[in-house]
Structure 1
Amino acid sequence: MTVTTALNVPELLEKACAKTGLADFGDDWFREPLDVLVHSLNTEAALSPLGFELTGHRLTALLCDRLRLRELQRAHPEVLDVEVRVAAEICGLPRTGSTLLHRLLAASPQVTSTLSWEVAYPLPFPGEGPDAAVRKRRARERMRVFSQLSPDFGDLHTVVWDGPEEDVVLLDRTFVSMSFDSFYRVPSYGDWLRSADQRPAYRELREWLQVLRWQDESRSLPWVLKSPHHLTAVDTVLDEFTGCRIVMTHRSPGQAVPSYASMVSAMSAQYSEDVDPVRIGRYWSGRFARTLEGFAAARSARPDRFVDVRFADTVSKPVEVARQVLDALGLRPGPADDAAFEAYLERNRTERHGSHSYAPQDFGLSEEQLRRDFAFYEEVYL
C-alpha cells in the first residue's frame, strides 16, 4: 500500500522554521535539489505509510540543520575562518573495502575523521555541554531504531554510533547526495544528480567540517574522509580541497555491484513495500558504469592526485596497505600508527555480526554482462 499524501516542499520549509524559530536558510540554491528530490519521492518511490512518515521527518530535520547552521555562523562568525585540511577522500564503488580502509586510517593519531554521531547531529543542542551528551544519546537511540527496521543490515555493513562514518551524511543537508537514491527508488533524482554542478554542495561540506573543528580544537589534524558519492564529483572534490588526494579502492564490479544491490534492497525496505531486486540491480549497474567512466576521465587529467588500493590487498594485509596510504599522503607511519591499526582490527573482529550471500542473478544481472559492461575499468585497474 502506498500513501496518498504527497510531500510538499513549502510545507517542509514551514515546519522547519516553526520547529527552530528561525527563518534564514541562507542561499536558496538548495531548493533545486530539494525540489527534484521531493518530486521524485512523490512520483517514483512508492513510499509506504511508515516510509512517508520517516521521510517527512528526515527532510524536516535536514532543513532544521540548515537553519541552525546559518544561525550559528551568524552568532559565531569566526567559524567561517576555521581552517579545514582534507588529506584524502576515500572513494571507490561501495563494497570495495573502502569502509575497512577508512576506519583503519581514522584510527591513526595523525588524522581525524567524521564520526557517526556527529554526522547525524553536527550542531550542539541549546544548553548542551562540550561532551555532546544529548547528541550521543540520540545517536545511540537512532542506531537502535535503525537496527529494528533493518535487522539484517548489520550482516551487510557494520555500523557503530561512535565510530567513523561517511561524510556524505553531512552532504545530505544539501540534498545533493547519493544517500537518497540508495534508500529510495528515485531514478529521476539520480539522473539529475549525475549532471548537477555540485560545487555549492561541497562548499557547504567545508562549512560543516569547519563547525566540527570549531567545536573541538583537537580536530585540527588533517581529515581523512570517505564515501562512494565523491566518485560523482571527483573534479569538484579536488578543486574544493586543495592538497586532497583521492584514494580509490578497486574491486571487480562483478562482486561489488550485486553486493551493493543487496544492501540497497535491505535499506529501501524501510521506506517502501515495493522493493524490486531486479530493478535495483539494473539501476546500480548502469549508474556505476557511468560513474566509473567519469572517474577515468578525471583521473587522466590529474593522475598525481590519486592513490590506488586493491580490495584483495586491503583484506589480506590491511596494516601494510594503511601504512602505504599514509605514506602516499605525506604522513610518515610509525609505531603509534601500527598500534592503532592493530587495535582497530581487533575491535573490528568483535563488532562484525555475520556475513551475507548474494549472486548477480538475484538482481537481474549476469557475470558475463557485468564483465562486458565494466571491461573498460577492469582492464586498467584490476
Structure 2
Amino acid sequence: MGLSEFGDDWFLEPLRVLVAALNGEARLSGTGLEMTRRKLTALLVDRLRLRALQREHPEVLDVQPVVAGVICGLPRTGSTLLHRLLASSPKLTAMRFWEASYPLPLPGEEPGGPERKRLARQRIEAFLEFAPDFGNIHTLQWDAPEEEVILVDRSFASMSFDSIYWAPGYGDWLSAADQRNAYAELRQWLQVLQWQDPARAGRPWILKSPHHLAALDTVLDTFPGCRIVMTHRSPLRAVPSYASMAHAMSTRYSDAVDPAAIGRYWSERFATSLRAFGAVRAKRPERFVDVRFDTMLTEPVTGARRVLEALGLPADDTDVTAFESYVERDRRERHAVHSYTAEDFGLSPEQLARDFAFYQEGSA
C-alpha cells in the first residue's frame, strides 16, 4: 500500500494502554491472539487510509455532518430498537453495519459499496457460525443501523475493547480519559460516510452507543445542537444482561473467562457512568430526552414519534408508516429469548438495588 501517515499521534497512548491490558490481563487463547492481532492491524490500516483519502479528496473535510440525537442509555435498555426505528424515518440518517465495518471505499469499487456489503454479509455469517447464540442477544444484520462505537475503535479509545476482552486496566484508563480527540475523529468518519452518499445531504444523523454515556460533555460539545436520548431500564435487568453479552463476546478470545468478574466490573462501571450522567444532565437539562424501556416494549411507535418530535422533527404519516413497518419486520425476525440471571455473573438483585438506588430514584 505504501502509506505511512497516521496523522496526529495522540492515538498511541490509548493503543499502548490497550496492548498492555491485552498482554497482561486478557488471557488470550491462541486463536484469540491471532484474531486480535489481525483486528488491531486492520484498525491501524484504516487510520492510514483515512488520512490518504483526506489528502486525495480535501473536500471531505468541508462536509458538515449535523447530529440531531445521540442515544446513549445503558446497554440492553431498548436503545437498539429505538435507534433502528428512528433510522427508518426519511428525516434522519444512520450508519449501517457494513459502513461501520468497512467505512472507506475499496480500490476500484463502484459507488454504493457493493464489495463492502458483500464482505459485511460474509463477516456476519462467519461470526454467527463461530458464536451461534449471539444472535439471541443482539440481532446482527449487514444493512441494519449499527453503533458508531465501531468507528471509534479506530481511535483505540472505545468501550468495545473492554467489552470483548477482560481488560479492566484499559477500562479504568478509558473512564478517566479525555476523549475529545476520539470524538473529533468520529466526526471525521461521519464526514467520510456523508461524502460517499449524496442521499444523506440535508438529513441529520441519529447516533447510538452506550459508549457515549462516559463522555457526555464531549458529545454535546462535538455535536452542537444534538440532544442526548436516554433510554431507561432498571439496572437490575440491564447490568446482568450486558454482563451476559460481554461474556459471550469475550469467550471468543479467551478460554479463561470469569463471569463473576465480568459482572462485578460492569456493575461498577455502569454505576460510575450513571453518576456522571446525572452530573452532566444537571448542567444542561435542556439537551436531554428520556425514553423508558417499557415504552419500547409496549408502544415502540409512540416512543419513536415522541423522540422524533423532541429532536425538532415532528413525525408525519411517512414516518409512522416507516416505524410500523420496522416493528413488524423486527417481530418476524426476532430470535429466541435471551436467558440469564444476575447470579450467573456473581451479582444479586439486592446488591444491584443498593448500588443503583441513586439512579432509580433520580431517573426520569
Q: TM-score range by the shorter chain?
A: over 0.9
1:132 aligns to 2:132 (yes or no): no
Deviation at 1:347, TM superposition (A): 1.2
TM-score (norm 1): 0.94
Matched residue of 1:152: which SS?
Answer: helix
The equivalent of 2:55 in structure 1 is 74
The equivalent of 1:307 in structure 2 is 289
Q: Equivalent of 2:234, from 225, 249, 252?
A: 252
Q: Which moved more, 1:342-351 or 1:35-44?
A: 342-351
* Unaligned ranges ≥5, structure 2: none
1:119 aligns to 2:100 (yes or no): yes
1:170 aligns to 2:155 (yes or no): no
1:146 aligns to 2:127 (yes or no): yes
The equivalent of 2:329 in structure 1 is 347
1:380 aligns to 2:362 (yes or no): yes
Give the Cα separation in 2 of the matches to 1:101 and 1:162.
16
C-alpha contact 2:112 2:197 (8 A) present in aligned 1? no
The equivalent of 1:278 in structure 2 is 260
Give the Cα separation in 1 of the matches to 2:129 and 2:283.
45
Deviation at 1:281, TM superposition (A): 0.3
Taking the TM superposition and a 5 Å limit, the aligned residue runs for 1:1-382 are 20-220=1-201, 221-381=203-363
Give the Cα separation in 2 of the matches to 1:230 and 1:272.
27
- The superposition leaves residues 24-69 of structure 1 with CA deviations (integer Å, 9 ceiling, x where unpaired) of 0000000000000001000000000110010000000000000000
Matched residue of 2:240: which SS?
Answer: helix
Query: Could you tell me which amino acid in structure 1 is paired with residue 145 of structure 2?
Result: P
Give the Cα separation in 1 of the matches to 2:344 and 2:196.
46
Give the Cα separation in 2 of the matches to 1:172 and 1:149.
22
Deviation at 1:275, TM superposition (A): 1.2
C-alpha contact 2:68 2:205 (8 A) present in aligned 1? yes
Deviation at 1:131, TM superposition (A): 2.5
Give the Cα separation in 2 of the matches to 1:30 and 1:273.
29
The equivalent of 1:15 in structure 2 is none
TM-score (norm 2): 0.99
Give the Cα separation in 1 of the matches to 2:253 and 2:329.
32
* Unaligned ranges ≥5, structure 1: 1-19
Give the CA RMSD over aligned residues: 0.7
Identity %: 64
Deviation at 1:276, TM superposition (A): 1.1
Aligned length: 363
Give the Cα separation in 1 of the matches to 2:168 and 2:216.
21
Deviation at 1:380, TM superposition (A): 1.1
Deviation at 1:155, TM superposition (A): 0.5
Give the Cα separation in 2 of the matches to 1:266 and 1:80.
38
Matched residue of 2:28: which SS?
Answer: coil
Give the Cα separation in 2 of the matches to 1:356 and 1:332.
34
The runs of at least 4 consecutive aligned structure 1 residues that moved more than 6 Å come to: none
Matched residue of 2:143: which SS?
Answer: coil
Give the Cα separation in 2 of the matches to 1:259 and 1:21.
44
